[in-house]
Amino acid sequence: MTKSRSLDESSLDLKRQLEVVQQEAQVLRDKVEDLDRQNEKLISENRRLQLLAGRKVGLFIFMAGEVFQPRIPTDKMKAIYYLGPQF
């Protein structure tokens, strides 16, 4: 009888642990879904900003965090964009 009770308690403890692990897994799945949604929004915003930047006229070179704009007449050349290393 003691052995049976011990097994029942052990089984009940394992069931509780399983429930906790399943709840934690659901919380993590929800967080991943939220991060995926945020990532999609940021990707869309990044694309929008890149399109806006592509419409600007002139030569812009981004290097070491500084922006250089040479004095070249924009009517004589096409706009060239170099975005340097992506961090």
Mean pLDDT of 5-29: 92
Nearest to 72 by CA among 82, 83, 58: 58
d(Cα 44, Cα 37) in Å, to the nearest integer? 11
In terms of domains, do 70 and 43 share one? Answer: no
d(Cα 17, Cα 11) in Å, to the nearest integer? 10
**What is the pLDDT, as a whole number, of residue 70?**
54
Please give the residue range of the domain that contains residue 49: 1-55
In terms of domains, do 50 and 23 share one? Answer: yes
Model confidence over 25-80: pLDDT tens digits? 999 999 999 999 999 999 999 988 888 877 654 445 555 555 555 555 555 444 44
pTM listed for this prediction:
0.51
Mean pLDDT of 2-20: 86
Consecutive H or E run containing 68: strand 66-68
**What is the pLDDT, as a whole number, of residue 60?**
53
**What is the pLDDT, as a whole number, of residue 56?**
57
Tokens 């890149």, residue? Answer: 50
In terms of domains, do 3 and 43 share one? Answer: yes
In terms of domains, do 32 and 61 share one? Answer: no
